[in-house]
Structure 1
Amino acid sequence: MSDPNPYQSYQQTQVEQPSNGLGITGFVLGLVGLLLSWIPFIGVIAWPLVILGLIFSVIGLIRVNKGRANNKGMAIAGIAVSAIGLLVCIAWAAVFGAAFNQVNNEMERVAKVEYEITGTATEVDITYGELGKSQQEKATSLPWTKQLENKGLIKGGSLMATSGAKGGTLTCKITVDGKVVATKTAEGALSVVSCIGT
């Protein structure tokens, strides 16, 4: 007996292959971002990597839950390493932000500075003041003092004295907010003494 319907239609069912690319991509980006996030300055590159790693890993996990992927562990690991990398990036940003604010506040702070030259030399040429804003004076006898208010990172600025041809001793001293930050001594004709305060 023959088959009444020789041309049976076979319904082809396509089995969708799992698409694990997003979960794997998220894990790789998160891992590379985590490794780079620990390195100062280079860690800036980690920001986009960990953010993209987090996004791709979350999308990969959503695909796993919908049955379109089967790499749930990889997607969860991608979320974990991306999140840790993001936390490290945020911590570095906080550290650099605090350091920048501290430097900025120190640069704006005004300090009371006293410049002093003592010794036995006469006809002394003196240069003093903030770095880049120095002033000059000539002293015929010592001690010589000058009080200023300075700003910047190096509050004490600089103090330099040169003795005349008759020689003698020279001692320079810089005091910032009541604390001596630099002192030096020189002796002889045309001797030079130089102090730089912090």
Structure 2
Amino acid sequence: MSEQAAHDDPVPPPPPRRLWPWVVLMILVLLALGAGAVSAVLAHEVSAEGSRTVHIRYEVTGAAEDVTLTYSTWQGKELSTGRLTLRTLPWAGELDTKGFMSGGRFAVSLGKAGGDVACSVTVDDRTRRTARASGAFATATCNGF
């Protein structure tokens, strides 16, 4: 073989560039950007809900002489419980609060004398929950408002 023939051998082409790592990288970047955008929107909505003033009205009607009320109250962003004992009905209580989150509780418990009661919780002039109970030691519960 001559020297000329050795130089005429074709040079092998470079290996083809792999495209799939770039496609995977772009998909991961797009997913990360999408997750960041969703997180920002949710954070804004939670912040707006937490700063909005909400009007809550609790009501109890019926015929009973020994009634205990247990209800949710909000102080800023913290949930606490209020308790009140009544000897006569009807009763209503109202409060305006900020930092309200769903999941409140309002329970009306009858004593050993029994009776009939109904409770309702209204948030921003829309009735959210109602319940009834009758008899000794019965409880009407309005949850999740």
Shorter-chain TM-score: which interval?
A: 0.7 to 0.9
**Aligned residue number for residue 139 of structure 2:** 192
After superposition, give the CA deviation of every residue in 1:44-67 in whole Å (9 maximum; x if it has no partner): xx12xxxxxxxxxxxxxxxxxxxx
1:129 aligns with 2:72: yes
Q: Specify the code of the residue in structure 1 equivalent to 2:20.
A: V
Say which structure, 1 or 2, has more relative contact order (CA 8 Å, 6+ apart). Answer: 2
**Aligned residue number for residue 153 of structure 1:** 101
- 1:193 Cα offset (Å): 0.9
1:31 aligns with 2:23: yes
The structure with the larger Rg is 1
**Aligned residue number for residue 120 of structure 2:** 173
- Whose helix fraction is larger, Structure 1's or Structure 2's? 1
Distance 1:30 1:108, change over 3 A: farther
CA distance in 1, matches of 2:22, 2:142: 52
Q: Structure 1 unaligned segments of length 5 or more: list them.
A: 1-7, 38-45, 48-85
- Whose strand fraction is larger, Structure 1's or Structure 2's? 2
After superposition, give the CA deviation of every residue in 1:33-80 in whole Å (9 maximum; x if it has no partner): 56xx5xxxxxxxx12xxxxxxxxxxxxxxxxxxxxxxxxxxxxxxxxx
Q: Specify the code of the residue in structure 2 equivalent to 1:175.
A: T
- 1:16 Cα offset (Å): 7.3
- 1:29 Cα offset (Å): 2.4
- 1:97 Cα offset (Å): 2.0
CA distance in 2, matches of 1:33, 1:179: 49
- Contact (CA 8 Å) 1:174, 1:197: kept in 2 or not? no
Q: Structure 2 unaligned segments of length 5 or more: list them.
A: none
- Contact (CA 8 Å) 2:65, 2:88: kept in 1 or not? yes
Question: Identity rate of aligned residues, in percent?
Answer: 27
- Contact (CA 8 Å) 2:66, 2:114: kept in 1 or not? no
CA distance in 2, matches of 1:115, 1:33: 55
